[in-house]
Amino acid sequence: MEYKTYHIEGLIEFIPRVFRDDRGWFMETYSDKMFEPFGIKPAFVQDNQSVSKKGVLRGLHFQKPPYAQGKLVRVTSGRALDVAVDLRKDSPSYGQHVSCVLDAEQNNLFYIPEGFAHGFMALEENTTFLYKCTNFYHQASEGGILWNDPALGIDWGTAEPLVSPKDEVLPLLQEFDSPF
């Protein structure tokens, strides 16, 4: 498995080897060993899946400690613009973001550790998004940052995505007191 790191510490994109022949293809989608070069030992406890229409934007979400979640995300059909925003108070990259395109044809995965807000936008119809989480969902610990906060400068590629009413009223970064 190949990988790519980003300017924000902790974010890793994995590109698995795909073995193709006349029968189809095979790939390993997860192994603890993929994290060994980074000294990370995530313990994933929950898998989630969503299907979105083209233009649907979900995020930017996180869970507060002690229910914070690391995530390993990928798409199995379609494509999504995936975004992680650093919310770690003492990080030199606080408030900065990384985006990558997750593509079912490329089969890439993106690891987002605890301390980040996460969101994605479906770039194709019926984009199926899967994510492994290092902690269970805990409703009272939900949090988020407004997807179009000008301070974040995220280029979603559109000014009018389909966003839930809940995500439209999330706070701006400047109004936010990070628990990380």
- Residues serving a catalytic function are 61, 131
Q: Are 79 and 99 in contact (CB under 8 A)?
A: no
The b-or-e profile of 86-117 (16+ CB within 10 A means b, else e) is: bbbeebebbbebbbbebbbeebbbbbbbbbbb
Could you identify the residue written with the tokens 């979640």? Answer: 69
Q: Are 51 and 126 in contact (CB under 8 A)?
A: yes
